Amino acid sequence: MTRKGVRLVLAGVLFTSACTMHDTVAPPLTGPSELALSLVMSATPDHVTQDGSSTSTISVVAKEINGKPVSNLELRFDITVNNQIAEFGNLSTKSAVTNGSGRATVVYTAPASTPVMAGGPSTVVSVIAQPVGTNYSISSVLFRSVELLVAPPPPPPPVPGAPTVSVTYLPASPKVGQMINFTATATPEPGHQIMDWEWAFGDTQSINEHGFDASHAYDAAGSYSMTLLVRDDQGRSGYAAKTITVVP
């Protein structure tokens, strides 16, 4: 073989080796990944009374995709009502870290109610848990939630001679931000009169309504519990309640 032929063979070998080195695939990275994280939530009990003291234990168990517990994972917790973050009750802490078995717990305490809310509709409350990671665009989609039903205390037994109360409202299917007009009728025992009207609309807005009619607008879509308590000149109370469904 000539020297020129040898040089061509060697060049071909080097070129082939260079291509082989370029196509070598790096080994996959190992270790935990946010996308491989599994969160399982529970609430015990999932029904609580809206009395300012009833509690539910919220548990989160974090595991890797292979079932191995994830310890030292920081989680952020929030309360939502109608898909809006709300201060409806409180949590023992807004942040918790998983232990060696991958578990973190917080305690939810129901809010207090007023007499006007007694016997009214219940509220569905969601507690959300979200990992605190290093990339919000990833960790923000890993949240999990669990729901509780928070029920006001039952109304007191009917008092003989207490007023009878009814409420109507328009529009029947209100939209977010639309003013709703409520009209109440209260019938006292003959010889007595109505002295006080107490309205509650089931959201966190302040209330300044103390007559037989009222108006209110909701800031978010969802179902809200409207209640009215009426007292006569003997201190006897009558109640009325409505569930208001607000659409976007």
Over range 74-84, report the average pLDDT: 92
CA end-to-end distance (rounded Å), the chain? 86
User: For residue 137, is pLDDT > 70?
Assistant: no
3-class DSSP state of 103: strand
Return the pLDDT at 60.
97
Confirm or reject CATH 2.60.40.10 for domain 164-246, answering yes or no.
yes
Do the two domains 34-151 and 164-246 of this chain adopt the same fold? yes
Bridge-based pairing of strands 144-151 and 84-85 is: unpaired
Q: What pLDDT, on a 0 to 100 scale, did the predictor assign at position 141?
A: 62
Q: What is the pLDDT of residue 103?
A: 97
Residue-wise pLDDT tens digits, 92-131 = 999 999 999 999 999 999 999 888 788 777 889 999 999 9
Which element (helix H / strand E) includes 40? Answer: strand 38-44
CA angle 56, 42, 138 (to 5 degrees): 120
User: Is the confidence at residue 4, as pLDDT, over 70?
Assistant: no
- Residue 239 confidence (pLDDT): 87
pLDDT at residue 135 greater than cutoff 80: no
**pLDDT value at position 22?**
35
Q: Give the pLDDT confidence of 195-226 residue by residue, as tens digits.
A: 999 998 988 787 878 899 999 999 989 888 89
Tell me what percent of the residues of the chain surpass a pLDDT of 70: 83
Is 108:53 a contact under the CB 8 Å cutoff?
Answer: no
Q: pLDDT band at residue 180, thresholds of 50, 70 and 90? A: very high
DSSP code for 163: P
Mean pLDDT value across residues 182-199: 95
| Domain extent listing, the chain | 34-151, 164-246
Distance of CA 159 to the CA centre of its chain: 37
Distance CA 236, CA 216 (A): 26
15-48 pLDDT tens trace: 343 433 333 333 333 334 455 788 999 999 999 9
Pick the residue with more confidence: 116 or 1?
Answer: 116
In DSSP terms, 21 is beta-bridged to: none
Whether pLDDT at 246 is above 60: yes
Helices vs strands, H then E, count in the chain: 2, 16
Distances (CA, A) of 55 to 16, 19, 68: 71, 66, 30
Q: May I ask the CATH architecture of the domain 34-151?
A: Sandwich (2.60)
Place of tokens 């548990």: 59
Nearest CA to 195 among 173, 146, 162? 162
